A and B are shown apart, each in its own frame.
Chain A
């Protein structure tokens, strides 16, 4: 009884199978196409050095999208991410200033930030599961609260972080750029969770909650874990943001949650839960950023930039949705 609109019959079944196993293949394909487009126009773009700089500026979104995906897999959503960034941002900056910008002070500040972010996420999860509330509206409400706390720490943009913070993110360690280390780190965490079976359990909750419950999964606890992870990665995103802005702002992070969600969707995650991969969201995030660059380098009028961006995202989503539809049809 599906509304059959467009059937992607020209796509060979073999490819459909591959997409099913790795929902992010589509995203990777788009990344490659966009890279080629950029390379044709501006060969310098694809140089390692320039890509490293790009990667550094993409990091905040990539981390946020990565964290958001764990929540999306369970069929939830985290609209408080943007405000969480603000909260963690001002706390880290305040603590750094408290310790006068010393190295131990910075390390301490960063740890505090990570703890605060994770805690905020866990609180989200606890409120949702204990009070049995809808994720969308609840995380919106907690987002307002986090933003309020951020304002209480710092009521206007300001503060200063040593430049070393900035240089750290531009540098490299063992010849490998720091952003790459960071990415490897978060992918490592993902692999750890995957091997522990946690990712499968999150997917199970999003796919069929009752079934997951009947299979013996402690659904509430796993949902709290997902929100905690979202908070944790959001804190990492904030650290990357400070690496760019080297200052604090209670208004930081506005709109990040929506970009993160759309990155996850472009990366192949199903917003109704149960399907997708945080790795896909990384590529989704890269697409979100690359589209801007393509539009810029092709000299498209500023007026059309946003329009193009919106249309390209809708196009990518449509293709993904049609693919999913045709997959579920071939199930019969």
Chain B
């Protein structure tokens, strides 16, 4: 049987980074095919290349057996291939209905849009999610008024109303509740019954075995295996995902810490409710739970991102006032985000400038010579084992992991007391990850404390001293010692 869609030797580079290397992939009619792999392994890149939202460097795409070369996603849509984008393709100021029909052919007379007919389709589509979304979700509400899960649903429906031959769901379930996911799966199954194909990108093993037919595993931009899910197991897939560098979660000796460093009493801000916690000196405190339960908000609040918070905080006995990042930096906080593009790097600026800014601000230095700055930066970069050509090169030339090292270096220069990390290893390769963990431990030995939110449960269970589990803005459990296991974590997170 000719596959509906076939990719042969597709490669893609961003600057010096290989996102995809000689990828091969084939999709049969009427199958649900998963693409899985670690964060940043190239899954999203692959899906964007299929619809030509990104240009491939080399390789071939066959659709119905014929080579295709779309010039933009509009062409791909005409041919019946459509994507539910991970970052969503919705326009904030436009209404739900306008978004759903954006870019589609007009059906009305004289090529006019038939708003009545559109509204009907839109309402019928929204009807599918009735009961699991708020009453708010109507065709005429602007998308920027919706919550994250509602936006995701609109993005999903936007694609489903067209009933494309091939539908690509890029992490479409990550911000949905389980009841909503169930409805999404029903939609997917219906399409499958009609003989359409679905490519799903997901991190959730449960989903994979629930509705998937086959899965292709991508590792570091390579398609390493395609498996029949009926004949496969959880272990086999994980083995493919991590390759030979598979570590068992061995028990690590943790030295208990007892010197209280940071105390938070009854902190409420945004989503957070009555957070009480103590952080010990030299400790790695993990934050976990399902994604988006307030972990990031807690870190941002500590970094002065929610000046209207309520509650009392004491660092080393001193009362804190978290008015702005500038204040938090002065108090000895540092903030490292996994979303380097938005919150971390200055992409066109040099490695040097990316390293020193916070340091200059903290030390109150207004003038400097570049030469002396260089000599101050070098020891820090050496400590980070950073490989680079020249301090004046732009930071964008480095890989994600090395960029993250620079950001860490930026904060190390300020001599922080508490480092706030929001999923810092996102999109970082395995080797650099291990280096980062080692570095975190090393820092803790020097008396620095770390609050660390991670979306990777294993890394946090392996490396944190204690893990706090958050659910809907509350701290619902504290895991330590023997209870540091995935089982306990899920039990608390799902409760």
Contact = CB atoms under 8 A, between A and B. Distances in A.
Does B associate with A? yes
Interface of A: 1, 20, 195-197, 200-201, 203-204, 207-208, 210-218, 274-275, 328, 331-332
Interface string B135-152: 000000010110000000
21 contacts: A1-B305, A195-B108, A196-B111, A197-B106, A200-B94, A203-B93, A204-B94, A204-B98, A208-B92, A213-B53, A213-B72, A214-B89, A215-B91, A215-B102, A216-B73, A216-B78, A216-B104, A218-B74, A274-B91, A275-B93, A328-B144
A328 B143 CA distance: 12
Interface string B108-137: 100111000000000000000000000000
A200 B112 CA distance: 13
Nearest to A273: B93
Contacts of B73: 213-216
B406 interface: no
Nearest to A200: B98
Contacts of B113: 195-197
A201 B99 CA distance: 10
B269 to A, nearest CB: 12
B268 to A, nearest CB: 15
Which 6 residue pairs of A and B lie closest in terms of their CB atoms, listed nearest first?
A: A216-B103, A216-B74, A214-B89, A215-B103, A211-B89, A207-B91
B74 A217 contact: yes
A263 to B, nearest CB: 21
Interface of B: 51, 53, 72-74, 76-78, 83, 85, 88-94, 98-99, 101-104, 106, 108, 111-113, 142, 144-145, 158, 270, 305
Nearest to B90: A211
Contacts of B85: 214
Contacts of A212: 89, 91, 102-103
A20 B111 contact: no
Contacts of A217: 74, 102-103
A52 to B, nearest CB: 33
Contacts of A216: 72-74, 76-78, 102-104
A31 to B, nearest CB: 24
A215 to B, nearest CB: 4
A1 B77 CA distance: 38
Given A211-B90, A211-B91, A214-B85, A204 B102 contact: yes
A210 B99 CA distance: 13
Contacts of A208: 89-92
A216 B74 CA distance: 3
Contacts of B91: 203-204, 207-208, 211-212, 215, 274
A99 B408 CA distance: 75
A328 B72 CA distance: 32
A196 B107 CA distance: 10
Contacts of A20: 142
Nearest to A218: B74
Given A215-B103, A332-B270, 8 more contacts: A196-B112, A204-B98, A207-B94, A208-B92, A210-B89, A211-B90, A216-B73, A274-B91
Given A195-B112, A196-B112, A217-B74, A207 B92 contact: yes
Contacts of A274: 91-93
Contacts of A218: 72, 74
Contacts of B108: 195
